[in-house]
Amino acid sequence: MTENKKDFFLATGRRKEAVARIKLIPKGKGKIFINGRDFSTYFSLIAHQIYIKKPLLITNLANEVNIKARVKGGGISGQAGAVSLGIARALVAFNPQLRPLLRKENLLTRDPRAKERKKYGRKGARRRFQWTKR
């Protein structure tokens, strides 16, 4: 691993309407804080916790860096996706040699899916009003 002289690395992750600003601090103990709270209390679902830790576990840096994140917008699943992408991008800023490893696991790709807008003459984005014969 290349030795960096920076105190911290910043990155941004987005998913649906959620935006996460990530601050990766090297020489940490593996603590993750989201909006000032421990990430296990912020994201109560185990699936979200695993999704957030995935970039750290793949790169074997789970106990060597601290993460501080500020997340706003969207729902819980969108926020978890945004944090995961932000952590992966911060790891690449920290050590560019991790890029192929994270790319192979599809962690550096932003998920472009978003909510489809409602159209006029429809009940939702695609649902039509019920048709009556008489």
Over residues 73-123, the pLDDT tens digits come to 999 999 999 999 999 999 999 999 999 999 999 999 999 999 999 999 999
> Taking the model in full, what pTM does it have?
0.89
Kindly list the domain boundaries of the chain, sorted by start residue: 9-104
β-pair type (18-26, 37-38): unpaired
* Per-residue model confidence as pLDDT tens digits over 10-52: 999 999 999 999 999 998 999 999 999 999 999 999 999 999 9
94 strand-pairing partners? none
- Chain centroid to Cα 124, Å, comes to 28
Question: What is the CATH number assigned to the segment(s) 9-104?
Answer: 3.30.230.10
